[in-house]
Amino acid sequence: MGCPAKKFTRAFLEVADRYKLDWRLLPSLSFVESTGGKAARNNNMFGWGSGKTHFPSPVAGIEKVANRLALSKLYRNKTLDQMLATYNPDVTYAPKVKWVMGQISALE
């Protein structure tokens, strides 16, 4: 029932601030990719590297994905829609992530 990613709230917020990302983006990606860590393997809540990337810890995964989204030329200086299309080009992907982001906003 519980969402494993919840215990990493502080890490999500800290990396979002550090890399100037929308604070809802990483938790939303983790929810869409692994149901908030429930289906995560190798500390990879984000499906990074087609789900094959291994991170030493969930926090290391959060840090690495945030770093790549903010600094990689594949992602930086893109709108949210462009970033999500690069992350996963399936046309149904961005609406799913944005819906989760909206649900998180509604909790405020």
**Domains in the chain with CATH codes:** 4-106 (1.10.530.10)
Q: How many CB atoms lie within 10 A of CB 12?
A: 22
What pLDDT is recorded for position 105? 82
Q: How many CB atoms lie within 10 A of CB 65?
A: 26
What pLDDT is recorded for position 108? 61
CA distance 85 to 70: 15
The pLDDT tens digits along the chain (108 residues) read: 578 899 999 999 999 999 999 999 999 999 999 999 999 999 999 999 998 999 999 999 999 999 999 999 999 999 999 999 999 999 999 999 999 999 988 776
Cα–Cα nearest to 100, from 6, 25, 23, 13: 25
Quote the pTM value. Answer: 0.93
Cα–Cα nearest to 8, from 32, 16, 85: 16
Q: How many CB atoms lie within 10 A of CB 106?
A: 7
What pLDDT is recorded for position 1? 53
CA distance 57 to 4: 13
